[in-house]
Amino acid sequence: MTIAPWRSPLSRALHRNRALPNARYVQLATVRLDGTPANRTIVFRGFAQGCDDLQFVSDRRSEKVQDLHHQPIGELCWYFSKTREQFRLLGPITVISATTEAEPWQQQRHQLWQTLSDNARLQFCWPHPKQQRTNETLFATVPPNPMQPSPHFCGLLLQPTQVDHLELRGDPQNRWLYQRAPEGDWTRQTINP
Amino acid sequence: MTIAPWRSPLSRALHRNRALPNARYVQLATVRLDGTPANRTIVFRGFAQGCDDLQFVSDRRSEKVQDLHHQPIGELCWYFSKTREQFRLLGPITVISATTEAEPWQQQRHQLWQTLSDNARLQFCWPHPKQQRTNETLFATVPPNPMQPSPHFCGLLLQPTQVDHLELRGDPQNRWLYQRAPEGDWTRQTINP
């Protein structure tokens, strides 16, 4: 497998910013059922083995999973504050839920579940996200089985088709656009900031 | 004027995170002409006088201005890393360009231009964003008149209609949803994280 050409600058940014507690926090934009945009912070869970897909996790009861069923595409905006650079990654997103068939998907979902901390796994046992919370709302406190994903647990895989890399350092700033042709080859263009 | 109820927690977050160089950097999601989502980092330029509109600036040649002509709505995602909290602000966005008529808009555009640094103003004199850059591409180095906005300079005003505030600190996390009724009143609901 050939690694996509934007992987090298992104890996370098992750390495140089690794001391920041939120270097793996990234903003994901999707389109809601009513056509309006949605935006929230999610945690990068590494690349899938043997390909350039970025991995994330989500609760299937969350609105982003609904958005993605309607319009299965997202753009990530990843700002690295130490090196002052931004990556925008656009591409289709695959949702792997408990009911997704075919063995390799479920294996990947199980692996993602196992990489989570107890605290992260616990949140999938909490009541329905965004519903009204009262003093009576109960939150589970015992972490679930680390070997058996919660039925609410989903893996999200974003396969970039376009990556826009901007370095604020530099006078003028530097910007590159990577685009993936349908047959899989990448081009890289130097563009105006 | 009554200040919207989410202004107080947002001001507190801005104050507590003020030592971070990127506390005023926020991610803006819009919808492209082809219906796919777009996401990029922009700089918060303060609230408009006498209302709850958030101010930003943009080059009218940039894709976000095209996106907003097509679908004039955006969602901001604002993550504060010191206090570990997130604000998502959804609402219509007004673009004030050089050709926007009516005096109050142009006055606000002039004021925004004046608040920029020379370096920020200079970028509006650069060649067309996202076009191919070669060794021959020339970038202006003399800042423009601080009293006369570049014809490419636009103000963006986002008027929130929904604000989703999440505090990661807390066990479980805390989350509130603010919603604006058509007549302008705000409601606040405590919701599940």
- Over residues B70-103, the pLDDT tens digits come to 999 999 999 999 999 999 999 999 999 999 998 8
Q: Which whole number is the average pLDDT over B2-16?
A: 97
For residue B188, the tally of other CB atoms under 10 A from its CB is 14
Contact A79 B27 (CB under 8 A): yes
Beta strands in chain B (DSSP E): 25-31, 37-43, 54-59, 73-80, 85-96, 153-158, 162-167, 174-180, 186-191
Residues of chain B with Cβ-Cβ distance to A39 below 8 Å are 27-29, 39, 75-77, 88
* pLDDT at residue A20, rounded to an integer: 95
- At A51, list the tokens: 């390909």
CATH 2.30.110.10 fits A7-128+140-191, yes or no: yes
- From A29, A71, A123, residue closest to B29, measured CB to CB: A29
Contact B39 A77 (CB under 8 A): yes
* pLDDT at residue A2, rounded to an integer: 84
Q: What is the pLDDT of residues B99-151, one digit of tens each?
A: 999 889 999 999 999 999 999 999 999 999 999 999 999 999 999 999 999 99
Distances (CA, A) of B71 to A31, B9, B52, B164: 12, 29, 21, 21
- From A22, A39, A192, residue closest to B77, measured CB to CB: A39
* pLDDT at residue B102, rounded to an integer: 83
pTM score of the predicted model: 0.98
Nearest CA in chain B to A74: B37
* pLDDT at residue B2, rounded to an integer: 85
Distance from CA of A148 to the nearest CA of B (A): 22
Residues of chain B with Cβ-Cβ distance to A13 below 8 Å are none
Q: How far apart are CA A41 and CA B88, in angstroms?
A: 9
Nearest CA in chain B to A40: B77
Of A43, A52, A18, A2, nearest in space to A155 by CA: A43
Distance from CA of A185 to the nearest CA of B (A): 19
Instruction: Look at residue B1 and tell me whether its pLDDT is greater than 80.
Output: no
Instruction: Report, as ranges of residue numbers, the positions in chain A whose pLDDT lies below 70.
Output: none
Q: How far apart are CA A14 and CA A5, in angstroms?
A: 15
Average pLDDT, chain B: 97
Q: Where are the domains of chain B?
A: 7-100+152-191
* pLDDT at residue A159, rounded to an integer: 98
Q: How far apart are CA A157 and CA B48, in angstroms?
A: 39
Distance from CA of A131 to the nearest CA of B (A): 5
Instruction: Look at residue B4 and tell me whether its pLDDT is greater than 90.
Output: yes
Residues of chain A with Cβ-Cβ distance to B79 below 8 Å are 22, 25, 27, 41
Contact A37 B74 (CB under 8 A): yes
Q: Which whole number is the average pLDDT over B46-62?
A: 97
B79-104: b (≥16 Cβ within 10 Å) or e: bbbebbbbbbbbbbbbbbbeeeeeee
Q: How far apart are CA A47 and CA A29, in angstroms?
A: 19
Contact assessment for residue A175 and residue A193, using Cβ atoms and an 8 Å cutoff: yes
Chains A–B, number of C-beta pairs less than 8 Å apart: 146
* pLDDT at residue A190, rounded to an integer: 98
Contact B172 A126 (CB under 8 A): yes
Q: How far apart are CA A112 and CA A28, in angstroms?
A: 19
Q: How far apart are CA A31 and CA A39, in angstroms?
A: 9
- At B186, list the tokens: 């705000």
Q: Which whole number is the average pLDDT over B152-172?
A: 97
Q: How far apart are CA A24 and CA A87, in angstroms?
A: 12
- From B37, B86, B172, residue closest to A29, measured CB to CB: B37
Whether the complex's predicted ipTM surpasses the cut of 0.90: yes
Residues of chain A with Cβ-Cβ distance to B139 below 8 Å are 172
Residues of chain B with Cβ-Cβ distance to A37 below 8 Å are 29-31, 37-38, 71, 73-75
* pLDDT at residue B103, rounded to an integer: 83
* pLDDT at residue A123, rounded to an integer: 97
Contact assessment for residue A27 and residue A41, using Cβ atoms and an 8 Å cutoff: yes
Residues of chain B with Cβ-Cβ distance to A127 below 8 Å are 192
Contact A191 B131 (CB under 8 A): yes
CATH of the domain spanning B7-100+152-191: 2.30.110.10
